[in-house]
């Protein structure tokens, strides 16, 4: 038998700040660039009741951890539940099971921030944000740890939501955070643009992007849905979190390719490739760059293992026992 920890959302929420998540996730993607195994999400759809079961995995050998995410969304309760198992990458033994919902915006925001740090101009100071939900909050908090933004402009279709978001973050950040009335206004003068929406169609006109802009798109991971239009994709040095997503669920790239705006060779590389120098990132201040962050097991395992170690040091969690298969299946 071996004992692992079960960690609830309440036990995780104050263990790390945005910068801690960014550091952990950056290291995870560096390991991916050095060859760490990871696969895109697998998504199973159910018709009656309507719902989705999703999972993805990664191994981070240098961290000594492996695991991933499994979550169900929709179905009868029309909600979502996230389960995050973490295993020891040396022994294979389970280390922890996390209630993964609370860490989701933090680890996803951290992936976006690593993309910004790798691809945006060093002097980037103005951010245009499209979206005002939990994921947008995670993206902004993390982005603010890698660049000193003095201005943030946020747009989402519901005025109350965007204004409430702006009020909260104007008090939280040193930047001037304001709500605006259109995505076009959010793009004006933006050095960095982040999309964090559930939109099925493009949320801004790519022709409006100014030279030198970096775009992080994280809201969609579906072959038939996309936040970015063909103009954005075709104008940009286009980087994915995982290359294998290119023809599976990177909807923006798939749509641009099908429209003939780009060729099959348009993908520049993976984020990990940029971090280890296997491919160049930004080459000049006029270049437009895109990081398509659909979500992977890399940031999940990196963040979950970091939280597990901190929880263990803090004496948090409930022990749960697992029997190895050699024992549990003996004589069956």
pLDDT in tens, 105-157: 999 999 999 999 999 999 999 999 999 999 999 999 999 999 999 999 999 99
In the predicted structure, residue 36 carries a pLDDT above the cut 70: yes
Stretch 48-56: mean pLDDT, rounded?
95
Residue whose structure tokens are 């908090």: 141
- Please, what is the average pLDDT of the chain? 96
Which pLDDT value is given to residue 328? 87
At 229-253, the pLDDT tens digits run 999 999 999 999 999 999 998 999 9
Which pLDDT value is given to residue 20? 98
In the predicted structure, residue 254 carries a pLDDT above the cut 90: yes
Would you place residue 81 in the very low, low, confident or very high pLDDT band (cuts 50, 70, 90)?
Answer: very high
The whole-angstrom separation of Cα 37 and Cα 285 is 33
Which pLDDT value is given to residue 332? 61
Per the model's pLDDT, the better-predicted residue between 16 and 221 turns out to be 16
Stretch 307-330: mean pLDDT, rounded?
94
According to DSSP H, which parts of the chain are helical?
A: 9-12, 18-33, 104-119, 134-143, 159-172, 183-187, 230-235, 251-258, 271-276, 297-314, 325-328
At 296-315, the pLDDT tens digits run 999 999 999 999 999 999 99
Whether the Cβ atoms of residue 130 and residue 196 lie closer than 8 Å to each other: yes
In the predicted structure, residue 323 carries a pLDDT above the cut 80: yes
The whole-angstrom separation of Cα 119 and Cα 211 is 13
The whole-angstrom separation of Cα 206 and Cα 136 is 20
**275 is written with which tokens?**
């971090």
Q: In 10 A of CB 332, how many CB atoms?
A: 4
At 202-231, the pLDDT tens digits run 999 999 999 999 999 987 777 788 999 999
Whether the Cβ atoms of residue 274 and residue 293 lie closer than 8 Å to each other: no
Burial label, 73 (beta-carbon count in 10 A; 0-12, 13-18, 19+): middle
Among 28, 23, 73, smallest CA distance to 53 is for: 73
DSSP state of 309: H
CA distances from 162 to 50, 62, 169 (A): 30, 41, 11
**24 is written with which tokens?**
């952990």
| Percent share of the chain, pLDDT over 70 | 99
Tell me which CATH code domain 121-292 carries.
3.40.50.720
322 three-state secondary structure: strand
Stretch 258-279: mean pLDDT, rounded?
97
In the predicted structure, residue 272 carries a pLDDT above the cut 90: yes
Which pLDDT value is given to residue 21? 98
- Does the pTM surpass 0.85? The reply is yes
Which CATH homologous superfamily contains domain 2-104+297-328? ornithine cyclodeaminase, domain 1 (3.30.1780.10)
Would you place residue 269 in the very low, low, confident or very high pLDDT band (cuts 50, 70, 90)?
Answer: very high
Domain residue limits, the chain: 2-104+297-328, 121-292
The whole-angstrom separation of Cα 66 and Cα 89 is 6
118 three-state secondary structure: helix
């Amino acid at each position: 038998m071996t004992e692992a920890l079960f960690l609830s959302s309440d036990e995780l929420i104050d263990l790390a700040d945005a910068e801690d998540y960014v550091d952990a996730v950056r290291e995870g993607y560096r390991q991916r660039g050095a060859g760490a195994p990871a696969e895109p999400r697998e998504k199973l759809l159910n018709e009656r009741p309507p719902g989705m079961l999703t999972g993805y995995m990664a191994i981070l050998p240098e961290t000594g951890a492996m695991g991933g995410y499994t979550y169900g969304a929709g179905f009868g309760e029309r909600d979502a539940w996230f389960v995050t198992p973490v295993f020891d990458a040396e022994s294979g033994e389970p280390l922890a099971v996390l209630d993964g919902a609370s860490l989701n915006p933090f680890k996803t925001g951290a992936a976006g921030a690593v993309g910004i740090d790798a691809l945006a101009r060093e002097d980037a100071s103005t951010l245009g944000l499209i979206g005002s939900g939990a994921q947008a909050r995670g993206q902004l908090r993390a982005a603010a740890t890698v660049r000193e933004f003095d201005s943030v402009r946020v747009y989402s279709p519901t005025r109350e939501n965007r204004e409430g978001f702006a009020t909260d973050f104007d008090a939280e950040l040193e930047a001037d955070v304001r709500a605006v009335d259109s995505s076009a206004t959010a793009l004006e003068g933006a050095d960095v643009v982040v999309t964090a929406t559930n939109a099925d169609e493009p949320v801004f006109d790519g022709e409006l992007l100014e030279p030198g802009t970096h775009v992080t798109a994280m809201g969609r991971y579906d072959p038939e849905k996309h936040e970015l239009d063909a103009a954005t994709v075709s104008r940009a040095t286009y980087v994915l979190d995982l290359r294998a997503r290119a023809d599976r669920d990177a909807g923006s790239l798939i749509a641009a390719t099908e429209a003939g705006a780009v060729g099959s060779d348009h993908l520049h590389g993976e984020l990990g490739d940029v971090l280890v120098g296997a491919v160049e990132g930004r080459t000049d201040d006029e270049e437009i760059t895109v990081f398509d962050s659909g979500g992977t097991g890399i940031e999940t395992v990196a963040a979950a293992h970091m939280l597990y170690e901190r929880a263990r040091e803090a004496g948090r969690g409930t022990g749960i026992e697992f029997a190895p298969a050699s024992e549990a299946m003996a004589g069956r």
